[in-house]
Amino acid sequence: MVDLKCNADFCLIPMGTESPSVSNYIAEVQVLMHGSGLKYSMHSAGTTVEGPWDQVMELIGKAHELMHKLGVQRVQTDVRIGTRVDKKQSFEDKVTAVEKILKE
Amino acid sequence: MVDLKCNADFCLIPMGTESPSVSNYIAEVQVLMHGSGLKYSMHSAGTTVEGPWDQVMELIGKAHELMHKLGVQRVQTDVRIGTRVDKKQSFEDKVTAVEKILKE
Amino acid sequence: MVDLKCNADFCLIPMGTESPSVSNYIAEVQVLMHGSGLKYSMHSAGTTVEGPWDQVMELIGKAHELMHKLGVQRVQTDVRIGTRVDKKQSFEDKVTAVEKILKE
Amino acid sequence: MVDLKCNADFCLIPMGTESPSVSNYIAEVQVLMHGSGLKYSMHSAGTTVEGPWDQVMELIGKAHELMHKLGVQRVQTDVRIGTRVDKKQSFEDKVTAVEKILKE
């Protein structure tokens, strides 16, 4: 067990699909995210999620499992994971901090 | 010269800074982005930008140069770059495509 | 629990360290990897490890915990994770497959 | 023009291919790397290359162009790029530095 909260931003890529369009698969992942109870946000280059390390990593693993259940034979995901112990910071706070500086 | 349009999502990390907080640096990068003329969007885990390959990559390089000018001795960036030739797709269209499926 | 084997390649970055050199920290991570029992390989841009999803992700989390114990206040890691269900493939097999094609 | 040397480690993923196996495509990228004159090294999770920023980024773009010429309609690449101004460091030196600490 890992005793840390984290922010993770992941970009999941189904491989060996017939079509280069993967929005159907990403929509399925979003349904999974919605059911997870964790705070998340989708953007054009990935999905950001925050929570306890183990839950976040299991959720991304569940997304891989889901892809395989849907017939995808190979899945490649890039994840950017951040942890910090100097302060609590939600992923939204990071954008707010930069915007505040830009306004000053 | 690379004759491709691309979407790039980059997460830039100044290394060897005294403080773990880097929002001041990220704000400087946002000013650079704003002056570039390229379409971009900041989120909590990076900045997405789209345009001709060479311009996008030069811009990210300029961000590294800027960090070094500000005294940062080492910079590490993770970039997710996508190109596609089957259709034109702005980074916003990717989110719209998924949201449309979710509504159906 | 995630019932998948995976290959993961991670690049861990301690943030807010006084020095831009982080090889001391990376050496500590290698000691952790060595003790894990999982198959791994360090290269100049990261460390590749393979095994059951949960064990691999916990190990990367333990690396974050270790950094924080050593006084690093913020850690950012980029991970590339691959799973496939069409065949078993060790990370070494991937290089061998490409080299075999290059020789033909 | 960007006046920096960099280390870049990239993992290129052809999307919408019929097969989940992409070693044929990666072999083509290796031929391209070989002809570039830049120093590079393939590993199981990507290819590391070093050189002037513009040349390195153009080379990765050429890899995308090559994929599209081979019929791949969409390509997604994850790149980890590092620049530092405190010292010259080849990508091999990074591994050596860690191994030296581990021996001590």
Q: How far is CA B3 from the centre of its chain?
A: 19
Note the pLDDT of residue D65: 98
CA distances from B11 to A2, B44, C65, D4 (A): 24, 9, 22, 18
* A58 interfacial to chain C (CB closer than 8 Å): yes
Q: Which chains touch B (3 or more CB pairs under 8 A)?
A: A, C, D
Note the pLDDT of residue C12: 98
Q: Which residue is it, tokens 């990228």? A: D29
List pLDDT tens digits, range C26-76: 999 999 999 999 999 999 999 999 999 999 999 999 999 999 999 999 999
List pLDDT tens digits, range D66-83: 999 999 999 999 999 999
Q: How far is CA D58 from the centre of its chain?
A: 11
List pLDDT tens digits, range A14-31: 999 989 999 999 999 999
Amino acid at C16: G
State mean pLDDT over D28-44: 98
Of B60, B61, B51, the closest CA to residue B83 belongs to: B51
Q: Is A45 left (phi over 0), alpha (psi -120 to 50) or beta?
A: alpha
Note the pLDDT of residue B104: 87
List pLDDT tens digits, range D4-24: 999 999 999 999 998 999 999
Whether D104 has a pLDDT exceeding 90, the answer reads: no
Note the pLDDT of residue B100: 96
Q: Show residues of chain C in contact with B77, CB under 8 Å.
A: none
The shortest C-alpha distance from D8 to chain A (Å) reads 16
3-state secondary structure of D78: strand
Q: Show residues of chain C in contact with A84, CB under 8 Å.
A: 15, 73-75
Question: What is the C-alpha to C-alpha distance for residues A100 and D79, in angstroms, rounded to an integer?
Answer: 30
Provide the mean pLDDT of chain A.
97
Q: Which of A20, A23, A92 sits opposite B98 (nearest CB)?
A: A23
pTM metric for this prediction:
0.97
CB atoms within 10 A of CB C63: 24
Q: Which of A20, A73, A78 sits opposite D15 (nearest CB)?
A: A20
| CATH 3.40.640.10 at B5-103, yes or no | no
Provide the mean pLDDT of chain B.
97
Q: Which of B14, B16, B78 sits opposite C19 (nearest CB)?
A: B16
Q: Which chains touch D (3 or more CB pairs under 8 A)?
A: A, B, C
Q: Which of A7, A23, A84 sits opposite B101 (nearest CB)?
A: A23
State mean pLDDT over D26-40: 98
3-state secondary structure of B41: strand
Question: What is the C-alpha to C-alpha distance for residues D22 and D25, in angstroms, rounded to an integer?
Answer: 5
Domain ranges of chain A: 5-103
Question: Would you state the structure tokens that stand for residue D60, as one six-digit string?
Answer: 């990765």
3-state secondary structure of B64: helix
CB atoms within 10 A of CB D71: 11
The shortest C-alpha distance from B11 to chain D (Å) reads 10
Nearest-CA residue of chain C relative to B19?
A: C16
What percent of chain B is modeled with pLDDT above 90? 97
C56 Cβ contact list (under 8 Å, min separation 6): C6, C8, C38, C49, C50, C81
Instruction: State the ipTM, two decimals.
Output: 0.96
* C48 interfacial to chain D (CB closer than 8 Å): yes
